[in-house]
Amino acid sequence: MKLKIKKKDKVIVISGKEKGKTGEVLELIAGDAWTQPRVLIAKINLVTKHKKPTQTDPGGLSKIEASIPLCNVMLVDPKSGKPTRSRVKIAANGDKTRVAVKSGETIA
């Protein structure tokens, strides 16, 4: 499956309990025939993980990011900061760049 979002893209959550929050993509998890693709975003959808103590680690509670379905996030428009779709623009020499549909700005 071709994904329009890449690592280090700035995205905004458009639905769910974290709606309206923005962050940077840490990891993309590809889906298959039975699961949908998911995305990990920095400091978004934090869950509490119980860790058992070991000789080197004291254990206890820790907060980690949980994945969000890819359909619940959109790219952030670099000009306005609002959610936007992306389009691929092909230059005359054959170079491909991603462009925000709303503003026409290039997405890094």
For residue 70, give the CATH number of its domain: 2.30.30.30
| Residue 18 structure tokens | 């974290």
Q: What is the pLDDT of residue 108?
A: 82
62 shares a domain with 11: yes
Non-local (6+) Cβ contacts of 35 within 8 A are none
pLDDT-derived band of residue 75, with 50, 70 and 90 as boundaries?
A: very high
In the DSSP assignment, the letter for residue 40 is E
Residue type, 55: Q
CA 60 to CA 28: how far, in whole Å?
Answer: 28
Whether residue 89 sits in one domain with residue 41 = no
Query: What tokens does 88 get?
Result: 């691929």
pLDDT, tens only, 2-59 = 889 999 999 999 999 999 999 999 999 998 989 999 999 999 999 999 999 999 999 9
The residue range of the domain holding 107 is 77-108
Exposure class string for 19-34: b at 16+ Cβ within 10 A, else e:
eeebbebeebeeeeee
Pick 2 or 93 by higher pLDDT. 93
